[in-house]
Amino acid sequence: KAGVTQTPRYLIKTRGQQVTLSCSPISGHRSVSWYQQTPGQGLQFLFEYFSETQRNKGNFPGRFSGRQFSNSRSEMNVSTLELGDSALYLCASSPLGGGLGELFFGEGSRLTVL
């Protein structure tokens, strides 16, 4: 069974630009969560989607948004990038969602904002 796939793996943007990250969950998993990982803040929850509906959202500004498609693939978008958005963005899929079961993480998308 293929794991969680995130693209792109690495990207460099400049302040003010926007970025879209993609996540393909494990087949059959309907829940996709996104986390931001930085050395100082650890793993911060961004949002979770389950069957195309946003079920939960973390404390991030509205510049961070996401969506989930009918095939469970998910994208997150960050608009008007700031230097502080530089981080590893991790996607995790789960069959149950809601923090009830194991999260399967992808390798992450490492974003550098210059």
Partner 1 sequence: GQQVMQIPQYQHVQEGEDFTTYCNSSTTLSNIQWYKQRPGGHPVFLIQLVKSGEVKKQKRLTFQFGEAKKNSSLHITATQTTDVGTYFCAGRWAGGTSYGKLTFGQGTILTVHP
| Residue of 42, 62, 70, 84 interacting with partner 1 (CB under 8 A) | 42
Q: How far is the CB of 99 from partner 1 (least distance, A)?
A: 4
What is the C-alpha to C-alpha distance for residues 88 and 24, in angstroms, rounded to an integer?
17
Q: DSSP labels for 2-60? A: ---EEE-SEEEE-TT--EEEEEEPPTT--EEEEEEEETTTEEEEEEEEETTEEEEE-S-
Q: Does 90 engage in binding with partner 1 (CB under 8 A)?
A: yes
Q: How far is the CB of 14 from partner 1 (least distance, A)?
A: 25
Nearer to partner 1, 59 or 70 (CB): 59
Q: How far is the CB of 10 from partner 1 (least distance, A)?
A: 13
